[in-house]
Chain A
Amino acid sequence: MAIVQFASIFAVAGPALAFTILALGAWFGRPLSERAGARVVGLTFAVSFLGLLGAGATMIGTGTDAFRTPLGVWFTTSHHRFELGLVLDRLSLPMSLFGSALVGLVAAFSARYLHREPGWTRFYVLLSLFGAGVQLVVLAGSLDLLYVGWEFVALTSMLLIAFFHDRPAPVRHGLRAILTYRLCDVGMLGAVVWLHHVGVPATVRDVGDPFLGIGAPDGLLDATVVGLLLLFATMGKSAQAPLGGWLPRAMEGPTPSSAVFYGALSIHLGPYLLLRAAPILERAPIAAGAVVAVGAVTALHATFAGRAQTDIKSQLAYASMAQVGLIFVEIGLGLRFVALAHIVGHASLRTLQILRSPSILHDHRALERATGAPLPEAGAHLEAWLPASFRPWLYRFSLERGYFDAMLEGRMLGAVLRFLRALDRLDEAWVSWLEGEATPPARRNEVSKFSEVSR
């Protein structure tokens, strides 16, 4: 079982080590050459992949359903031990294996794609950190540890969206992504705290299901609250309606990072978390219903919005969003194996599609040649069944991406900002009263700068 232990630890520690090597080199002004850097990262993920393959074979060979690798105890109080550990089971093994393969492939792809790019080291530093983060999410033995990986993924996602930080748009869109993530972290934090509060260990353990999972609190109310909080936690990272507006905007980074984050791994971490939390959803039908509802709304919204998008990357972003919505529905309905197969298959398909998205001109021409005619201009499926007068309306609705962004920005964010502005004015009036001034000084409109984040 040493191989299993090694594989679990290396899956997380390997990319972290690669990150350290690359980052230290850059920190001390001696960045690794492209060749050496690509070799370090490639080797890391190759070893990680082979190790996990060996671990899988060993586990199947010995009939082990789950294997736990304790990493020690962070702290102990009178009633609680904060244990750190990694878990390989029938859920995390395929995800982890698949994760290391995809990050490794994208690292190999990028070695040529990012050749001579000034931000080369930065890209690989972030990609390694992302690899470590994903593995930590997947292999974490408790929700607390998972949270750490979750944040690394968020951080690297933002920094890679803003990879070309000499232009304003990538930076704005990176900021928007991280704001969405942080908003949804409220759910994650809330769920962890709530679980601890009701005395349920937030560890991943055998709950009598095919997959290990996080045990549900006994009370229906507690389970429902924790389930809903976890759902909210996943809605940001998996770009579920109505919070998915950041996803098409995230296509500002280099194509390979878009592929591995928003086609393959990052976007599927939400469903993965929900698979881990399946016992809670099982206990709380309202939460499970909410998962189905969010997934279904997203799938429909993203399908319609995607049909009106005229650039290939936005279209793929919405296609991803729609499939992840379906996966949410499957999870809500308790179809766990279906969801897992869906995740793995969809991630493979989408990664390739995003990587070869610049080929669309070729593909369009090839398809025209093969069919021997210009491709039909409009779809003839769902929309053909709609009344003619409704179609332009639906088109505008789709082109405007369901108005979700406008609603969130104009109505909700706007209200929050107005509230903050009112507080700010109050504060200023108070200060100037204290200072004995007659009128508050004219101020620059800082809030409007802040709201530019949303464009």
Chain B
Amino acid sequence: MSALAHTPGLPVTGEPRLDAAIQHAAHWLPAQAPLHGFVHHNTLHVYEDHTFEEAVRLAYERFGAQPYLSEEAFAGHLASGRIRDVDIDTVLRDEGVSGDETLAGKVSEHALRRARLLHPFEVPRGPSLQWWLEEGNALRTFHPAATPSARAAFLQSDRVASPGEGERARTEAALRDLFQRLTRAVPTPTPNPVPDTATRQAVNALVHPLLIRLSAAFLDQGVAHWSMPDRDRGFYEAFRALYTLGAAPPDPWLQGLRATLQRQSAAGMDAHAAALAALESLGVGPEGWDARVEESLLSLRGWAGMMNVLEHAPDKAPVRAPRTSLVDYLAVQLTLEAQAVRHLEAHRAPDAPPPRASTPDHAIAYEGFVLAQLLGLGPHAFDDAAARTWLARVAAFDALERRRVLQLAYERRHRVGVLDAALAHAALGAPQRPAPRAQLICCIDDREESFRRHLEERSLEVETLGYAGFFGIAMAYLGHGEIRPRPMCPVVVTPKHVIREEALTPPKARAALAHPALLRARHAGRTSLVRGAFASFAGLASTVPLVARTLFPRAAARLVGHTQKKPPATRLHLVRQGDERGPDGLLDGYSIGEMADVVAGALRTMGLDAATLAPLVVLVGHGSASMNNPLEAAYCCGACAGGFGGSNARAFAAMANDPRVRTELGQRGLAIPDATWFVGTYHDTCDDSVVYYDLDLAPDALAADLTWLRALLESARRLDAQERCRRFDAAPLSIGPDAALSHVEARASDLAQPRPEYGHATNAVCVVGPRARTRGLFLDRRAFLVSYDAKTDPNGQALRGLLAAVGPVCAGINLEYYFSCVDNEAYGCGTKLPHNVTGLIGLMNGHASDLRTGLAKQMIEIHEPVRLLTIIEAEVAILETIFKENPDLEKLVFNRWIQVVAWSPSDHSMREFKDGRFVPYAPSTSGLSIVRTSVDHYRGHREHLGCARVEAALGEDS
């Protein structure tokens, strides 16, 4: 921060300097959009310039957020065999930890670290340590983790020192001797200034409740019955107008605020001037602005972040963003803080400084002491120099370092399992299959992996492919009956086109899907006393939905579904003739040429052409509809900006079926066979339903194929539900496919269900390559599968575009899960149970908290936080060029935010990306489980499962 203050070329003071400080601080604010547009992104995106390990440490220092899983969690993984000794040995060896240099006795640094990792023990601190040393057994008996052989070695080395005593007395004497030697070697602590957090806390305690209330009122999108006056003059002016009115509020700490604001108003100050005035009043000079602005903004980073997001992307507001800017927010915050500081200085007795501990750190001596016992090192191994070295090395391998190494070992075990299985699976080959009768193009989403696998197991004539679920159509979509279009493409893309859904037979009046009065009744009396009273007397009627929704959620939802008016038959308004404009001034549909671009781009990337296209090509968009779930968008299609991706599948199919588009494609040398027909569908990953679009347009010749395919999808979705149910504690492990479908349907329609589905939880792998590589490989719904064929893309042109889009998206999902999982309170939004929706934009705990960002505890509880293992089938040379050309990818790969493995399409060897280059990978395990069907593999298991070869999908007979 202070570095910035001295950077040459930066303004020294005044408004530009303040803007620089704000811009600097704004980097650290969460970038999460309002709830309805929740899209996964790397929580620490701003740190991508640093390596992953540096970044998590910096964030740990800045936000106090945990960088890795806790040591207890890793200890559990060690105990369960999820991390093995060999993983730790390999990681330590790869890091170049010396095994030759001896520190004490015959113990090397390698052995020290290995012992410290493999035998996790707790190091008590402060009074707790004092107790253990004085009252407990720490100095009397061996540490329980010390093995008998280590104990023997420990005493062995000490035999000469104290002959002729009893075993117990000798042990105690030796232990005390050792501890004393180590205590003597403890370095005297360098005094560390303790930052004054008491003042900050006292200020926050006064300012935050009011600031939260004001921010929420300013950003409200329609919860409150009255909205804040003068919102369009910006936050600061709206606030000033409100608090210069009438009498001052009675809060003691706000006395004098009105006068301050009146002065500012009279002087015609804007937000900048007010913020500067507040900084002056706080006694902060320009050299301290960076630190102060950052400290203030980060103290409520959820709200400040939302202000920042809506300043730069006001279109992300669910209804309409007021004139939002971060400087306005800062002006209000600093004005209130200055007010609070004035009040505290006048009224608050200063706290006595906390007593400073100046005694040497016995904890480090204790840690070295236990470690010596584990390694069988008695007191005589430690002369003064050895003891000092020993403690220095023990201190260097602190908890953060240990967790970093454990994380690497944890990731290694997973990586080895997947890579070895993939290689073994490929080595086994596959029999020739008949030409596909149908191709299903699904989203690359990890949740579609099981759906695709089950389809392929049911029929060898089905082939599935993976393509980003917006299918290359970067549109805004206006569904029938919707009042505003929503973007249906990755968030980095701004749609230029709008596609509208229109009723086939225009209704006489506006086709309301439900009566407004009925919908209003749900909220009767929320804001009105009189209507509330009427509603209350009719309130007994609420017991009907209350009982039904609570006791029979699925039946209740079905009943409601039956009573609702059926939506009318619709078509997409797709084709734009000239330059027509639709809602929001967007191009009203696609021209034929643009449509041909979309279709050609997708087919080329997936390696599809006239020779390989099946008669039936089904596009599968996806989404996830659930009840009582403000985070619904997070479960939907990320490639569609958190929307329901069915519309994109439908639009793609309609484009590819259009004869004019086909003619255009034919001229470009990518003819689509006349016999091929595209169908758009929607797969709901929550209740596993499948919706088909525009089937009435399909040629009659395909009727039989369609019937066949629909039957397959019917059984595949049941099996998909069954495979998902194995993760739900509430579903019995023996559940059958039909019962499983009912179970997931009940989840989707249940008001009381905080886990409608598990979303992307457990995602860990991304495979970019032809499906042939992964067909018949059980990947446990943990892999993003991206179709790409290196054979049809010799110079990597298609791969370049594909990785630029897919890399950050998959990494974003994976890293958001990583961070929300390792520290659910700091990076995630905690448990869903007390969540409270505010202003339609965000979540709070209770009535006034900071906005909670990230993922809820219920979404990550089964997740394994490993960085995405990205396996790309391409030549190393091409990948290296692509990484160098794309700075975003380069950062992700070189700074280790994802793990990259290149799988050569020519010699089928794998190369891992390590320390800036690809190194050959050699499999270290052998044997791949081979099962008849997926069901055989997952039946009866709740836990993560390893890969397996599924014969049914390959047409092999056992």
1/0 per residue A240-272: CB within 8 Å of B? 000000001101111110000000000000000
In the assembled complex, A419 has its CB within 8 A of some CB on chain B: no
In the assembled complex, B519 has its CB within 8 A of some CB on chain A: yes
Evaluate contact between A169 and B846: CB separation under 8 angstroms. yes
In the assembled complex, B845 has its CB within 8 A of some CB on chain A: yes
**CB of A35 to closest CB in B, whole Å:** 9
1/0 per residue A345-381: CB within 8 Å of B? 1111111110111111111111111111111011101
Q: Which residues of B contact A163 (CB under 8 A)?
A: 834
Q: Which residues of A contact B839 (CB under 8 A)?
A: 310-311
**Bound complex: CA A448 to CA B351 (Å):** 10
Contact check: which of A116, A366, A448 meets B729 at CB < 8 Å? A116
Q: Which residues of A contact B861 (CB under 8 A)?
A: 116
Look across to chain B and name the residue whose beta carbon is closest to the beta carbon of A445. Answer: B349
Contacting chain B: which of A67-75, A183-191, A277-285, A396-404?
A396-404
Evaluate contact between B539 and A349: CB separation under 8 angstroms. yes
Q: Which residues of A contact B835 (CB under 8 A)?
A: 255, 358
**Bound complex: CA A163 to CA B837 (Å):** 19
- Kindly identify, within residues 75 to 113 of chain A, every residue whose CB is under 8 Å from any CB belonging to chain B: 101, 105, 108-113
Look across to chain A and name the residue whose beta carbon is closest to the beta carbon of B220. Answer: A310
Evaluate contact between A392 and B836: CB separation under 8 angstroms. no
In the assembled complex, A444 has its CB within 8 A of some CB on chain B: yes
In the assembled complex, A322 has its CB within 8 A of some CB on chain B: yes
Evaluate contact between A319 and B352: CB separation under 8 angstroms. no
Contact check: which of B209, B226, B227, B515 meets A455 at CB < 8 Å? B209
Evaluate contact between A307 and B753: CB separation under 8 angstroms. no
Evaluate contact between A303 and B836: CB separation under 8 angstroms. no
Contact status of A403 and B529, CB under 8 A, knowing A308-B226, A342-B536: no
Contact check: which of B225, B242, B834 meets A164 at CB < 8 Å? B834
- Kindly identify, within residues 104 to 155 of chain A, every residue whose CB is under 8 Å from any CB belonging to chain B: 105, 108-117
**CB of B336 to closest CB in A, whole Å:** 14
**CB of B324 to closest CB in A, whole Å:** 15
**CB of B202 to closest CB in A, whole Å:** 8
Contacting chain A: which of B489-497, B598-606, B628-636?
B628-636
Contact status of A410 and B251, CB under 8 A, knowing A255-B833, A358-B835: yes
Q: Which residues of A contact B522 (CB under 8 A)?
A: 353, 356, 363
In the assembled complex, B513 has its CB within 8 A of some CB on chain A: yes
Evaluate contact between B514 and A366: CB separation under 8 angstroms. yes
In the assembled complex, A20 has its CB within 8 A of some CB on chain B: no
Contact status of A379 and B226, CB under 8 A, knowing A306-B526, A359-B628, A448-B348: yes
Contact status of A167 and B216, CB under 8 A, knowing A307-B527, A356-B628: no
**Bound complex: CA A367 to CA B318 (Å):** 14
- Interface residue range, chain B: 35 or more
**Bound complex: CA A173 to CA B252 (Å):** 21
**Bound complex: CA A90 to CA B206 (Å):** 49
Per DSSP, chain B at the interface is loop
Contact check: which of B223, B551, B630 meets A310 at CB < 8 Å? B223
Evaluate contact between B528 and A303: CB separation under 8 angstroms. yes
In the assembled complex, B847 has its CB within 8 A of some CB on chain A: yes
In the assembled complex, B482 has its CB within 8 A of some CB on chain A: yes
Evaluate contact between B225 and A379: CB separation under 8 angstroms. yes
**Bound complex: CA A307 to CA B228 (Å):** 11
In the assembled complex, B178 has its CB within 8 A of some CB on chain A: no
In the assembled complex, B169 has its CB within 8 A of some CB on chain A: no
**CB of B239 to closest CB in A, whole Å:** 10
Evaluate contact between B527 and A370: CB separation under 8 angstroms. no
1/0 per residue A298-339: CB within 8 Å of B? 011001001111111111110100110010000000000000
Evaluate contact between A352 and B519: CB separation under 8 angstroms. no
Contact status of A392 and B242, CB under 8 A, knowing A351-B546, A361-B632, A455-B205: yes
**Bound complex: CA A342 to CA B216 (Å):** 32
Evaluate contact between A252 and B519: CB separation under 8 angstroms. no
1/0 per residue B500-519: CB within 8 Å of A? 00000000001011111001
In the assembled complex, B249 has its CB within 8 A of some CB on chain A: yes
- Most chain B C-beta atoms within 10 Å of own C-beta, residue among A117, A255, A310: A310
- Kindly identify, within residues 517 to 571 of chain B, every residue whose CB is under 8 Å from any CB belonging to chain A: 519-520, 522-529, 532-533, 535-543, 545-547, 549-551
Evaluate contact between A348 and B527: CB separation under 8 angstroms. no
**Bound complex: CA A346 to CA B846 (Å):** 22
In the assembled complex, B704 has its CB within 8 A of some CB on chain A: no
**Bound complex: CA A249 to CA B523 (Å):** 21
Look across to chain B and name the residue whose beta carbon is closest to the beta carbon of A259. Answer: B546
Name 20 extra pairs, CB < 8 A, besides A113-B754, A169-B849, A370-B516: A109-B550, A117-B833, A170-B846, A307-B225, A307-B226, A311-B223, A313-B836, A319-B525, A342-B533, A345-B540, A346-B539, A348-B546, A358-B832, A359-B751, A360-B837, A365-B36, A381-B528, A396-B242, A396-B245, A406-B251
B→A interface (CB under 8 Å): 35-36, 202, 205, 209, 213-214, 216-217, 220, 222-230, 241-243, 245-246, 249-252, 318-320, 348-352, 481-484, 510, 512-516, 519-520, 522-529, 532-533, 535-543, 545-547, 549-551, 627-630, 632, 729-730, 750-755, 831-840, 844-849, 858, 861
Q: Can you offer 15 A-B residue contacts whose CB atoms are under 8 A? A: A109-B751, A112-B753, A169-B845, A249-B847, A255-B833, A322-B532, A342-B536, A344-B539, A346-B539, A348-B541, A361-B35, A362-B632, A396-B243, A406-B250, A455-B209
